Amino acid sequence: MATLTHQDSATAEQLVITGGARKTFITIIVAGVVVLILGILAQVMGWGAEEHAAAGEATGHLGASAGHGAGASLHEEGSSTLVKRIIVSLWHSNVFFLGVSTIGTVFMAINYVAYAGWSVMVKRISEALSAWIIPGAVIMLVVFLLGRHDIFHWTHEGIMDKGNPNYDAIIAGKSGFLNLPFYLIRTIVYLAIWAFFSYKLRQLSLAEDQLGGTVWFHKSINASALFLVLYAVTSSMSAWDWVMSVDTHWFSTMFGWYVFASWWVSGISAIALTAIFLKQAGYLKALTSNHLHDLGKLMFGFSIFWTYVWFAQFMLIWYANLPEEAVYYNQRLGGFEGHYTGIFFFNLVINFVFPFLGLMTRDAKRQMIMMKIVCIAILIGHWSDFYLMFMPATLKGESGFLIEIGIAAIFLGAFLILFTRRLASASLVPVNHPFLDESIHHTT
């Protein structure tokens, strides 16, 4: 009988990362490397023909029938596509993991500002999620500086100079916003804001653990409120910069929300999934199905929110059918000989239909197994949502899955190592949080 005040009060719990867990993370990275190497081999040797069969790529046929001469020229093309695929995959996975990582801080900040008590039980998870921001930021800057030409059309030489053979009047018209110094400054500002507030909130939270008192709570609320205002602007702008500007000619006013919705629902799923894993490993003793129920409601609701934003963007473009806008969906629905048609519909099914039907009942949200399945589906689904945002613009019909999944697995393994290390570096229960009792006695 779940009622108030009958539970034991929570005490500090220290996560111990077992050798088995560490081995699992390393295995994920190794598996990623193996898949990546397989993907590289497939690309170089032209086994990609199978992968690209759906795209009906002519190169495969050429490679099979033509002699050495054609083979050599193919190789050259293949290797440049190869580099491109690796760089775009790095960017793609990094944007996804960096976004999810930041959502940890955003989730915590929203709960602070709302004076929410129930979420205190998972607060340390959201704090630890942001452990990836700094490495993610470094990777982002390095990939941008080294590989920007393979990702962003607007960085091409001479594209904004009149008279140059590369000149593109539309892109030149955007040079006030999309130019290298301003872009770099913006990116660094977003990352610095996110990293600073993640650090700040984490420090306040740790000080609260050590010293107690409500002063840390009030300081956290101030920091959170400021962060949320800044995040509202930077999340939207980073979506234009990092994601939308790969399709330089195209624009959508919904895009900031669309990317945020993707990050946000993935971040909540990551928090819920971690909470379940910790609970099943015997930690978070005061976490009950009531907390899972609330996380499940958020996942359910924001899956619908994502769909709403997705559809709002799709339907207006579909209805107006203006060529410069509709090209975005032409490429994804049937373009490149149907290369993306399958993943386009897969994306809708796994990100909307599955969470919608799967989490509809109360029991489903309160059962670990169902929540676990849906969490994993949402994380995979939104990774492929970002796949669909990046690939058609950068790789046209050349994208595949082996390299992309390999790189994503390497990111996942590295992410988990840093994430769990931060989880283990403090008590899993913020023992001095003023709302801790409310969270322990939370009923839904």
Partner 1 sequence: MTKQFALGIFEDEDVLLHAVENVRAAGVKIYDVFSPYPVHGIDDALGIERSRLPIAAFFFGLTGLSFALWMQIYMLGFDWPMIIGGKPHIALPAFIPVAFELTVFFTCHGMALTFFTITGLYPRFKTHVMDVRATDDKFVMAIELDETGSQFSRLTQLLRDNGASEVNQKEMSKN
Q: Footprint of partner 1 on this chain (CB under 8 A)? A: 1-5, 311, 314-315, 318-319, 321, 360-362, 443
Report, in Å, the least distance between residue 359 CB and partner 1: 13
Cβ proximity to partner 1: between 273 and 286 the closer is 286
Report, in Å, the least distance between residue 276 CB and partner 1: 23
Cβ proximity to partner 1: between 182 and 318 the closer is 318
| Contact of 130 with 106, CB cutoff 8 Å | no
Report, in Å, the least distance between residue 407 CB and partner 1: 34
Cβ proximity to partner 1: between 6 and 68 the closer is 6
CA-CA distance, 127 to 199, in Å (whole number)? 9
Report, in Å, the least distance between residue 2 CB and partner 1: 5
Quote the tokens at residue 274.
Answer: 């971690």
Report, in Å, the least distance between residue 252 CB and partner 1: 16
Strand partners, 427: 14
Q: Could you tell me the CA-to-CA distances from 329 to 54, 134, 335, 392 in Å, in that order?
A: 18, 34, 8, 10
Cβ proximity to partner 1: between 9 and 164 the closer is 9
Question: Where do we find the tokens 């619908």?
Answer: 304
Q: Could you tell me the CA-to-CA distances from 163 to 4, 153, 194 in Å, in that order?
A: 75, 18, 41
Helix then strand then coil, in percent of the chain rounded to 5, is 80, 0, 20
CA 5 to chain centre: 39
Cβ proximity to partner 1: between 117 and 413 the closer is 117
Q: Which of 79, 46, 78 is nearest to 64 (CA)?
A: 46
Report, in Å, the least distance between residue 339 CB and partner 1: 22
Residues 6+ apart with CB under 8 A from 201: 105, 108, 109, 112, 127, 220, 223, 224, 227
Q: Could you tell me the CA-to-CA distances from 262 to 134, 187, 274, 294, 335 in Å, in that order?
A: 21, 19, 18, 19, 24
Name the phi and psi angles at 177, rounded to 5. Answer: -105, -45
Cβ proximity to partner 1: between 17 and 304 the closer is 304
Cβ proximity to partner 1: between 258 and 314 the closer is 314
Cβ proximity to partner 1: between 314 and 415 the closer is 314
Q: Counting every residue, how long is the chain?
A: 444
CA-CA distance, 78 to 91, in Å (whole number)? 20
Q: Which of 112, 104, 121 is nearest to 13 (CA)?
A: 121
Cβ proximity to partner 1: between 8 and 157 the closer is 8
Question: Where do we find the tokens 């910069």?
Answer: 241
Report, in Å, the least distance between residue 124 CB and partner 1: 24
Burial class (CB in 10 A: 0-12, 13-18, 19+), 324: exposed
Report, in Å, the least distance between residue 3 CB and partner 1: 5
Report, in Å, the least distance between residue 315 CB and partner 1: 5
